[in-house]
Amino acid sequence: MKLRILGCSGGIGGDSDTTSILVDSDILIDAGTGVGNLTFDELSQIDHIFVTHSHLDHIVFIPFLVDTVGFLRKNPITVYATQATLDTLKQHLFNWEIWPDFTKIPDARNPYMRYEAISQGGIIDLGGRKIMPLPANHVVPSVGYLIDSGRASLVFTGDTTTNDALWPIVNAIDNLEYLIIETAFCENKKDIAIRSKHLCPSLLCAELAKLKSKVEIYITHLREGEADLTMNEIRACVGNVSPLQLKKNQVFEF
């Protein structure tokens, strides 16, 4: 399994793009602005989009992707999310006012896009590649994802704050190699992190103290202009682990 980071920033500008991860050539985990870096041929190969939550920085390129390649496809692109997130997409995005409803184009029997509701703990098996929603704690209904190749696995927390429900699950994964976890704010914005249900360095370090597995840890969702400061603050408070900053175009093979 090959996993490529298309975008991992808390914003845009310069070479920054918001959250999106390409798994092999056919699966997206979130569809932020990073999807716009794919070629037309790469876009046409995407069959599955797993959404963590409904915030714009994680879904903004779903409409453009489906609009661009939908007419070429024999089968619809499947969007996987919790029922609450799917309801938000239906009501506020694919509603004929913001964007057409591609579950009914060209018609409901032959759509460009379809929805599939998921729930925490349910496993989606795509040719031996197993993807399982994980608990997240954010201001809207959210999940993270476990991505398991069979040989090894990776956990992506999605947007979250303090999340006691996550760690017993993570600690029970016997083939876990990588953890990608967010830290959206530097320490002097801890009040904003708490109100928006994100992590800052002190909250992150408290979360990582719950991690029992020895894995490689990568920090995502860092904000432009504060990334170096935030990473220095993380290094100053973290225990016996050494988190690294997640980078755009970084590749994981497992």
Which domains can be identified in the chain, with CATH numbers? Answer: 2-253 (3.60.15.10)
Tokens of 116: 């599939």
Residue 217's DSSP bridge partners are 179
| Continuous segment of H or E residues that includes residue 65 | helix 62-69
∠ CA 90-95-97 to the nearest 5 degrees?
150
Angle between helices 227-237 and 201-208 (to 10 degrees): 40
The helix/strand/coil state of 26 is coil
Q: How many beta carbons lie within 10 A of that of residue 67, not counting itself? A: 15
Q: What is the 8-class DSSP label of residue 16?
A: B
Q: Quick one: tokens of 69? A: 């390649």
Q: For residue 16, how far is the Cα from the chain centroid?
A: 16
CA nearest to 156, candidates 174, 137, 133: 133
pTM of model > 0.85: yes
Would you give per-residue pLDDT tens digits along the chain (254 residues)?
A: 999 999 999 999 989 999 999 999 999 999 999 999 999 999 999 999 999 999 999 999 999 999 999 999 999 999 999 999 999 999 999 999 999 999 999 999 999 999 999 999 999 999 999 999 999 999 999 999 999 999 999 999 999 999 999 999 999 999 999 999 999 999 999 999 999 999 999 999 999 999 999 999 999 999 989 999 999 999 999 988 999 999 999 999 99
